[in-house]
Chains A and B, each alone.
Chain A
Amino acid sequence: MAAQPHGLIATFETTPDLYHAAEQVRDAGYRHWDCITPFPVHGLDKAMGLKRSIVPRISLAGGITGFITGMTLIWWTGEVDYPLIVGGKPMFSPMFAFPVSYELTILFTAFATIIGMLVVNGLPRHYHPVLKYDHIVRGMDDTFFIVIESRDPRFNLANTKALLEKAGGKAITELEP
């Protein structure tokens, strides 16, 4: 027996077709499935039933870390490790420490956001079955795909194929694992 395919991929020509098909797949109760689109399709998250991204929480943690790092760095270097009077100014004051802490808040937020986004998405990734699909180049260009993975408990080659056909999917193909 051939190895279990990664899943089924169906092609949709337009965004409204994809949108309505995504609603049907969502309502059929699938969980391990995805839409492949060349650009972020507005409203598709809702049609897929996706929750709000958790990236902002990671960003917030990064920002707080950055601010604390800045304040601590300036306090420790100026007040603790090597106190040096310059221009009669205090050894430490949050006033003059603010600009640097502010910049570090932004710097750490940016790194946390990007690293967080990549980790949540499981990127970088060397191999993925979807990228082996012959027509993936068009999925990066002007067509849209829905992939339902075989690891989904509701996956059944015949039924899933029927669902995708009913939803208007064309060229339904099994993906190599």
Chain B
Amino acid sequence: MSHASEHAADAPAILREVKPAVLPRAVLVENNRSFSWITEKICGIIEGKTPTWWWVCFILACFVASFTVAGLTYLVATGVGVWGHANPVNWAWDIVNFVFWIGIGHAGTLISAILCLLRQKWRTSINRAAEAMTIFAVVCAAIFPVFHVGRIWYAWFLFPIPNSNIIWQNFRSPLEWDVFAVSTYGTVSVLFWYVGLIPDLAVLRDRFFATGNKFRSFLYGLFALGWRGSNRHWSNYEMAYLILAGVSTPLVLSVHTIVSFDFAVSLIPGWHTTIFPPYFVAGAIFSGFGMVMTLMLPLRAIYGLKDLITQYHIDCMCKITLATGTIVGYAYGMEFFIAWYSGNPYEGFAFINRAFGHYSWAYWIMISCNVITPQFFWFKAVRENTALVWVLSIFVNVGMWFERFVIIVTSLARDFLPSSWGYYSPSVVEIFTFFGTFGVFSVLFLLFIRFLPIMPMAELKAVTPQADVHGHGGTTGHGAAEVQQAH
């Protein structure tokens, strides 16, 4: 709005005649909150007393996580045969869970990187938590392939480190590409997250110092690296942040592309399709946004963050879920079309079998959760009903887990030769291990919301109206609506 009036004098005559409508900017921080309100609100979460619900959740999460620890201990002690894999289904829950968790992580990078490049400022209130979600999801994802190697102490053979066998890794295999993709993804996500944290850690350092808590001041100060808010530093920092966003964008797209290569490069009917990379990336973003909403909506309610995560944010997230969910639905349809159109009998059978074979229950759960659920987000009334949005986001998570199950297990269980067909069911160890990863994720996430700022304070302040140096936002913290009237 400000620009329209600023440039009115030198605008073409036609613009002065027709007076184009001035669109209001969306308010990203509601109720004209001041800078110090933001600092107090976010630091208050860390500085306050540990709430009882936190301890309850933490103990519960530790209990759930112990299932993973127990399952993995049993696996390492006994052998990888304790999982239910057998010919012909030699890849099952392990890779399903791996792809599921990696996919969830992708929304975090999407929010922090792609939306940063697209200058979607609404990302600022959710990007920190979403990035944390990415890192913890990658941790959960990595558990499965690493333990699936069986002899976990040889897992370093995955990397090109000289070993006594002299042989090198097979770089022609998409599985080796995946090792590089996922480890790069994990590393870059941690770096990106940490760089974003540096200024906020400095805030905590100085606040704890001011209140005399020398120990915590030292700890936060150690990781704040001596940050002092110098504008000469901000200049380089902002550039570095932009570049990290710039490299994370192709990274997030490439990671799920390479994950899909694990399947698409093979010859199994139902896997060997060129639609896989875009279809997997869309599915990953879809499931990730489902998880972001599952996590952020309760946090928003518990900590009273309604002025920071506004209805506008929820609307945006719902719309992205709707868009990516619809892309995923289109991909399901297109897979069927290509199976018929290609005239390949194996491909055709694989898809008929998916929908009407032994695993049809899983297929229809997938369709209901992934294709039908997001369509509710067309309606404003649904998007404004936070409880309903939360329930729908859970359906998205469930549906996306089943998508990977359907793709992986149905294709392997019914391959080329009927003599080799089989039916896979998970063993109790697998179920426990997977169930426990939700505990691992929750433990990490609870520690994060207790000890680190859950929203990027510096970035939030920078999008408030009073941050504008030309005073268009008003200097006393006036909201955009008032400014618009003033012009």
Q: Which residues of A contact B (CB under 8 A)?
A: 13-16, 18-19, 34-45, 47-48, 50, 52-56, 59, 63, 73-74, 77-78, 81-82, 84, 86-87, 89, 96-97, 99-100, 102-104, 106-107, 109-111, 113-114, 116-118, 120-121, 123-128, 130-131, 136-137, 139-142
Nearest-Cβ distance from residue A161 to partner chain B, whole angstroms: 21
Q: Are B469 and A44 in contact (CB under 8 A)?
A: yes
Q: Does B461 contact A (CB under 8 A)?
A: yes
Q: Which residues of B contact A (CB under 8 A)?
A: 34-36, 39, 160, 166-174, 176-177, 180-181, 184, 187-188, 191-192, 195, 199, 202-203, 206-207, 209-210, 225-240, 243-244, 247-248, 250-251, 254, 258, 261, 457-459, 461-462, 466-471, 475
| Residues of the B chain whose Cβ atoms lie less than 8 Å from the Cβ of A36 | 228-231
Q: Which of B225, B228, B457 contacts A118 (CB 8 A)?
A: B225
Q: Which of B39, B170, B243 contacts A59 (CB 8 A)?
A: B243
Q: Are B184 and A104 in contact (CB under 8 A)?
A: yes
Q: Which of B167, B171, B240 contacts A96 (CB 8 A)?
A: B171
| Residues of the A chain whose Cβ atoms lie less than 8 Å from the Cβ of B181 | 99, 103
Contacts A55-B243, A117-B237, A131-B226 given: A89-B172 contact, CB under 8 Å?
A: yes
Q: Chain A at the B interface: mostly helix, strand, loop or mixed?
A: helix
Candidate in A40, A81, A111 with the most chain B CB atoms within 10 angstroms? A40
Q: Are A15 and B247 in contact (CB under 8 A)?
A: no
Closest to B461 in A: A39
How far, in angstroms, from A48 to B172 measured CA to CA in the complex? 52
Q: Which of A15, A77, A114 contacts B469 (CB 8 A)?
A: A15
Candidate in A42, A48, A81 with the most chain B CB atoms within 10 angstroms? A42
| Residues of the A chain whose Cβ atoms lie less than 8 Å from the Cβ of B166 | 82
| Residues of the B chain whose Cβ atoms lie less than 8 Å from the Cβ of A116 | 240
Contacts A50-B232, A53-B236, A109-B247 given: A15-B225 contact, CB under 8 Å?
A: no
How far, in angstroms, from A139 to B229 measured CA to CA in the complex? 8
Contacts A16-B471, A142-B34 given: A77-B184 contact, CB under 8 Å?
A: no
| Residues of the B chain whose Cβ atoms lie less than 8 Å from the Cβ of A97 | 171
| Residues of the B chain whose Cβ atoms lie less than 8 Å from the Cβ of A39 | 199, 234, 457-459, 461-462, 467
Nearest-Cβ distance from residue A42 to partner chain B, whole angstroms: 7
For this complex, 27 residue pairs linking A to B, each with C-beta atoms less than 8 Å apart, are: A14-B466, A15-B469, A37-B229, A38-B35, A41-B462, A42-B467, A42-B469, A53-B239, A78-B172, A82-B167, A96-B172, A100-B177, A103-B258, A104-B180, A109-B247, A110-B244, A113-B243, A117-B236, A117-B239, A118-B225, A123-B225, A128-B226, A130-B230, A136-B228, A140-B206, A141-B36, A141-B39
| Residues of the B chain whose Cβ atoms lie less than 8 Å from the Cβ of A34 | 230-232
Contacts A73-B160, A124-B225, A131-B226 given: A140-B203 contact, CB under 8 Å?
A: yes
Q: Are A103 and B226 in contact (CB under 8 A)?
A: no
Closest to A77 in B: B168
| Residues of the B chain whose Cβ atoms lie less than 8 Å from the Cβ of A43 | 469-470
Q: Which of B180, B206, B468 contacts A136 (CB 8 A)?
A: B206
Nearest-Cβ distance from residue B260 to partner chain A, whole angstroms: 12
Q: Are A16 and B235 in contact (CB under 8 A)?
A: no
Q: Are B244 and A37 in contact (CB under 8 A)?
A: no
Q: Are B230 and A106 in contact (CB under 8 A)?
A: no
| Residues of the A chain whose Cβ atoms lie less than 8 Å from the Cβ of B470 | 16, 19, 43
| Residues of the A chain whose Cβ atoms lie less than 8 Å from the Cβ of B250 | 102, 106
Closest to A70 in B: B180
| Residues of the B chain whose Cβ atoms lie less than 8 Å from the Cβ of A37 | 229, 231, 234
Q: Which of B228, B248, B462 contacts A40 (CB 8 A)?
A: B462
| Residues of the B chain whose Cβ atoms lie less than 8 Å from the Cβ of A106 | 184, 188, 247-248, 250-251, 254
| Residues of the A chain whose Cβ atoms lie less than 8 Å from the Cβ of B36 | 141-142
Q: Which of A35, A77, A104, A137 contacts B230 (CB 8 A)?
A: A35
| Residues of the A chain whose Cβ atoms lie less than 8 Å from the Cβ of B466 | 14-15
Q: Are A137 and B209 in contact (CB under 8 A)?
A: yes
Closest to A116 in B: B240
Contacts A102-B254, A128-B228 given: A40-B237 contact, CB under 8 Å?
A: yes
Closest to B185 in A: A103
Q: Which of B168, B195, B475 contacts A81 (CB 8 A)?
A: B168
Contacts A43-B469, A77-B160, A142-B39 given: A126-B226 contact, CB under 8 Å?
A: yes
| Residues of the B chain whose Cβ atoms lie less than 8 Å from the Cβ of A125 | 225-226
Contacts A53-B236, A106-B184, A130-B228 given: A47-B469 contact, CB under 8 Å?
A: yes
How far, in angstroms, from A131 to B206 measured CA to CA in the complex? 9
